[in-house]
Structure 1
Amino acid sequence: MSTGAKILAVCVKYSLSTIINLFILGGLLIKRLIVGKDFFHVKPRPVPPSILTDKKWGMHSYMSLKTQGIKLHYVEAGDRQNPLIVCVHGFPECWFSWRHQLQELSQNYWVVAVDMRGYADSDKPSKLSDYKTNTLTEDLRQFVLALGKDKCILMAHDWGAALAWRLVIQYPELFSAHINLNGPHPSVFAKHLQSSWRQKLMSWYMLFFQFPWIPELAISVQDLKMFEDMFKGMKKNDEDYDAVIEGFKYYFSQKGALTPPLNYYRNIDFASIAEKIPKVKVPTLIIWGVNDIALSKDLAIKAVDECETAELKFVEDATHFVQQDKPQEVNAYILDYLSHRN
């Protein structure tokens, strides 16, 4: 892309972002008048709820990545002698989104669910530039290497999955298998975004997140009610739904907790995301919740063509948060796929 085209792309991005944010801010102010002074209130949560510290999920640990200058929190379950599965969450989540996989898959695997930088109990650098895609990818590469296995199974969702695609392409020697859950392949997403008006409309939030402080404000209103709305798909399958929601709210209610995750989006280079990427050599399983309101199922279908070996499983009646909505079905697909690879 030429310099002129890049400048135009940046101008369009910020112009649209400004329009969207001013519109949403106006709506928030109107709702504030209707709801009252508590509309912008977030309840203090100084102590983690018991569901986050329950030992049934696994053991909490930290890893310092010295060359990255970052300390990452993770939860591990299972025998370290077993094959390793590294789980990488998406937005707006954390290690806790893998709770069902930590419990079930750890019977046969060593399962490690990491909090990416800026999330939950991992370090949260303050600079916007600390959340560039290359930096985030290198965090995960070094994390995987430090776990000490020759190879591992990389399982990732949403933003974590976007980074995982890059990892398996750039460092295929580190991975025996790749499991993708509702996470778009970078070049497929870029091409589809350019050609599909439906995907453009579904991706409006990416422009919304470019603006400072208003997205943080919008997410926090009514004591982070957004989490209840986003995760309602798991309500029918999770007996501890209210406690689960409170677990996520705890992490994101902490001071400054919303900005780092949003900085992932603020570092997207819209002018270069359509770059040519080599085919994925690592065997890949794609699991996709069909009721995803942010990502079209066409992205999953087209991603198969970017892999030398891939299987695709659609999960009906599951939203974007497929591993939380339908954990039994997702776990069954994972175990079946991995059993045929041993």
Structure 2
Amino acid sequence: MHAIEHHDIRVNGVTLHYAAAGEPDAPLVVLLHGFPECWYSWRHQLPALAAAGYRVVAPDQRGFARSDAPAAVEAYSLPHLVGDVVALTRELGADRFAVVGHDWGAPVAWQTALFRPDLVRGVVGLSVTPPFPRQGDTPPLAVMDALFEGRFYWNYFCRPGLADAEFAADPARTFRSFLYGASGDNPRNDPQPAQPLTQPDGTFLGHLDDTKDLPAWLSDADIAVFVAEYEKNGFTGGLNWYRNLDRNWELSAAWDRLPLLVPGRYITGDRDLVGSFPGMQEGVAALPLLYPALQPTLTLPGCGHWTQQERPAEVNAALLEFLAGLPA
């Protein structure tokens, strides 16, 4: 069993905390978490990939957990986040690396691979696909606002201070609600989750189920770790990623339809809430045409949004198979 180490490193104008396992000179794999998560979301992957001969690094991305959280909302654009990954790997001495991202970490992983195929050996996205071609001329927050009368969770998360305060009021409840509520173990997500909308009273957590009976993959001790990791920064830094959705859409015109030049893999669960977003099913079906370098989609039956936490054995096996097949 490889021990998980913890380090801080200064890159791209911020100090990032990261967890690591494996020998320093082994092939590097970077694991990028989503919201509301941190390095601990990869607790099952760090030792497993290290045991297979990789150096595995899972940073707390900027704004999250123990890493720096810049005050400026615009400091969380995708170019900033990709820049953090590139700078981190350079500081670690890696000429090439593989990158895996879940939830918000997936767009960062995909964009890192799209922007820097000279550095990235392969890319895996969990839950979130590579970017679809731009459609129309309306930014995403306005699209979702119109479709769901302002109740879609993106729009709520972007309102200054609201979600920040709701989630910080009781962090343990927040993590229980997110992690159980969006999981494949929640009966409300069978066969597919409903759209993640705010409640009639204007809050969000009521949309999710908070249960005292946690599923087997999640314990009270796990919840306690997430709560402790968020003591430094709270939730605002992570919410600022959502507050850049329109800015990222504007910037994305420069790389619309950029081809993926490195091997890739998309992994999801059939009870993942992202799969219920408008246009997702059609987009996933079109992935082989949009990105010929992608391997076939792996869909895990009965799995919800927290892919690598809910199904660690299956995700680890898929990652190891993918990594073993990459060019040297």
Bin for the TM-score computed over the shorter chain:
0.7 to 0.9
CA distance in 2, matches of 1:92, 1:293: 15
| 2:19 aligned residue | 75
Question: In the aligned structure 2, how far is the partner of 1:282 from the partner of 1:241?
Answer: 37
Counterpart Cα distance in 2 of 1:218 and 1:57: 35
Q: Contact conserved, 1:154 with 1:177, CA < 8 A, in 2?
A: yes
> Normalising by structure 1, what TM-score?
0.75
State how far apart, in whole Å, the 1-side matches of 2:20 and 2:134 are. Answer: 31
The equivalent of 1:60 in structure 2 is: 6
Shift of 1:84: 1.1
Instruction: Give 2:102's aligned residue.
Output: 157
The question of 1:105 aligning with 2:49 is answered yes
CA distance in 2, matches of 1:200, 1:303: 24
Q: Identify the residue that residue 315 of structure 1 maps to in structure 2.
A: 300
Change (3 A) 1:103 1:188: farther
Distance 1:290 1:115, change over 3 A: same
Task: Measure the CA separation in 2 of the matches of 1:214 and 1:148.
Answer: 41
Matches within 5 A, 1:81-230: 81-108=25-52, 109-188=54-133, 204-230=152-178
Q: Is the 8 A contact 1:58 1:76 kept in 2?
A: yes
Q: Is residue 340 of structure 1 aligned with residue 325 of structure 2? A: yes
Q: Number of aligned pairs?
A: 282
CA shift, 1:153, in A, is 0.8
**Which structure has the larger Rg?**
1
Deviation at 1:185, TM superposition (A): 2.4
Amino acid at match of 1:155: V
Deviations 1:214-263 (A, max 9, x none): 1112223444412112212374342x6111111112223x2642111111
Q: Provide the secondary structure at the position in 2 that maps to 1:92.
A: coil
The offset of 1:152, in angstroms, is 0.7
In structure 2, the partner of 1:294 is: 274
Tell me which stretches of 4 or more aligned residues in structure 1 moved more than 6 Å: none
C-alpha deviation, 1:155, in angstroms: 0.7
- In 1, are the aligned partners of 2:30 and 2:58 still within 8 Å (CA)? yes
| 1:328 equivalent among 313, 316, 324 | 313
Counterparts of 1:189 and 1:146 in 2: how far apart (Å)? 34
Q: Is the 8 A contact 2:98 2:121 kept in 1?
A: yes
Give 1:184 shift: 3.2
Which structure 1 residue ranges, 5 or more long, are not aligned? 1-54
- Confirm or deny that 1:258 pairs with 2:235: yes
Q: 1:190 to 1:289 in 2, by over 3 A?
A: farther
Higher fraction of helix:
1
Deviations 1:16-38 (A, max 9, x none): xxxxxxxxxxxxxxxxxxxxxxx
User: Partner residue of 1:236?
Assistant: 215
Q: Which amino acid aligns with 1:211?
A: R
C-alpha displacement at 1:209, in angstroms?
1.0
Conserved 8 A contact 1:181-1:287: yes
CA contact (8 A) 2:133 2:257 kept: no
Q: How many angstroms apart in 1 are the aligned matches of 2:153 and 2:33?
A: 19
Which deviates further from its counterpart, 330-339 or 91-100?
A: 330-339
Deviations 1:117-168 (A, max 9, x none): 1111111111222222221221111112222122111111111111111111
RMSD between superposed Cα atoms in Å: 2.8
